[in-house]
Amino acid sequence: MIELREAITPADKKKFVVFPFSLYKDSPYWVPPIIKDEVDSFNPEKNPAFDNARARFFIAYRNGKAVGRIAAIINDWEVKEQGIAKMRFGWFDFIDDLEVSKALLDKVVELGKEEELAFIEGPVGFSNLDKVGVMTEGFEHIGTMITWYNHPYYEKHYREYDMLPEKKYDENTFPFANAKPEFFGKAADLITRRYKLKPKSFKRSTEVMPFADAMFDLFNESYASLSSFVRITDRQKEFFKKKYISFINPEYIKFVFDEEGSLIAFGIVMPAFAKALQKAKGKLFPTGIFHLLKAKKNSKDVIFYLIGVHPKWQNKGITAVIFKLYHETFKAKGIQNCYRTPELEDNEAIHKIWKNFDPVVYKRRCTFRKDF
């Protein structure tokens, strides 16, 4: 018999966070989170996502042993402002037992019906900057700090629950050697002169911070048309600055300003922290922080996290300017491999941006949906 217990206290939420550590203890591909950061992200007093969202966390037990977990999430801005009657769920992990996954999903459906919503969809987080999707291909590749990894049997459980794929995502990779300047170098110079643009790179995080709010505003504008979009609030800006900026090498943040000094485009690339996080084993101290700092400075693999271009400047080749900035930095640092975060399979605009790099899809993932 499966017993569901709600994780309410900090101690309960720590149990929720550490469950996958046992589920994936033998996996060379799973990347653990920093436990404290994950627990804090589930605290309404610390994570401003709760200003516009509600979440409840459940752990499934059998004979007193944890066998699964799930977060049930309602984004009130999405429901009330966008009119999308969605019950979200995420952080969904479980042993290979249909009774366990069914009990957890049944709970999400129950809560969704109580709120008079129309369907459930997941796995997703609170917003666009959270992890998304269950992996369906690419299990032989190591995960990243900004994606969920899962066992191959997960997809079977979604389908057995009569869920259907809703949004499909690809993850692409290419060797840095594929980033040939002849595809974007001359175009970048021409576009910069024609529009009197001002590209900007950084050396220190303190140089980035004065522009961070403008970057998040631009993110809201440039990503608003995507079907999965949920805007970032002012308080979330502060949260994400503290959560992510410290992990990013400032040399991997690139901005482009127009003639008047307004930010019109940005790029954020992260060092690959996967192996460092595996060594840290969920803890920054006493040694985890050193593994992360070493990766931040020396990793030869990078992850393209976000590229945003103001709608008025899209289709003008602005990404060529960003790519030139990155090429100069990556060449100097000896970067070897480039990876991209999950991108919607039907996002033709993003496919066109990357076509000259000859990317290869190495992972696929999707969200699943079930109507009530």
Each residue's pLDDT tens digit in the chain (372 positions)?
Answer: 999 999 999 999 999 999 999 999 999 999 999 999 999 999 999 999 999 899 999 999 999 999 999 999 999 989 998 899 999 999 999 999 999 999 999 999 999 999 999 999 999 999 777 899 999 999 999 999 999 999 999 999 999 999 999 999 999 999 999 999 999 999 999 999 999 999 999 999 899 999 999 999 999 999 877 666 777 888 888 888 877 776 789 999 999 999 999 999 999 999 999 999 999 999 999 999 999 999 999 999 999 999 999 999 999 999 999 999 999 999 999 999 999 999 999 988 889 899 999 999 999 999 999 999
pTM of the model: 0.94
Query: Domains in the chain, ordered, with CATH?
Result: 3-170 (3.40.630.30), 174-362 (3.40.630.30)
Structure-token pair, residue 183: 């595809």
The rounded distance, in Å, linking the Cα atoms of 353 and 222 is: 15
Question: Which pLDDT value is given to residue 347?
Answer: 87
Residues in the chain: 372
The rounded distance, in Å, linking the Cα atoms of 36 and 284 is: 9
Structure-token pair, residue 111: 């809560």
The rounded distance, in Å, linking the Cα atoms of 310 and 180 is: 25
| Helix ranges restricted to H, the chain | 10-23, 35-41, 76-80, 98-114, 154-160, 185-195, 205-208, 212-222, 234-244, 274-280, 288-298, 318-333, 348-354
- In terms of Cα–Cα distance, which of 83, 63, 65, 81 is closest to 15? 65
Question: Which pLDDT value is given to residue 297?
Answer: 92
Name, in order, each residue with C-beta under 8 angstroms of 346's C-beta and a sequence gap of 6 or more: 168
Dihedral class, residue 102 (left if φ above 0, else alpha if ψ from -120 to 50, else beta): alpha
Question: Which pLDDT value is given to residue 296?
Answer: 93
Residue 29, CA distances (Å) to 141, 142, 233 in order: 6, 4, 34
- In terms of Cα–Cα distance, which of 212, 184, 174 is closest to 326? 184
Please check whether residue 146 is in contact with residue 303, taking contact to mean a CB–CB distance below 8 angstroms: yes
The rounded distance, in Å, linking the Cα atoms of 2 and 111 is: 18
Question: Which pLDDT value is given to residue 236?
Answer: 85
The rounded distance, in Å, linking the Cα atoms of 246 and 262 is: 24
- Quick one: which H or E segment has residue 264? strand 263-271
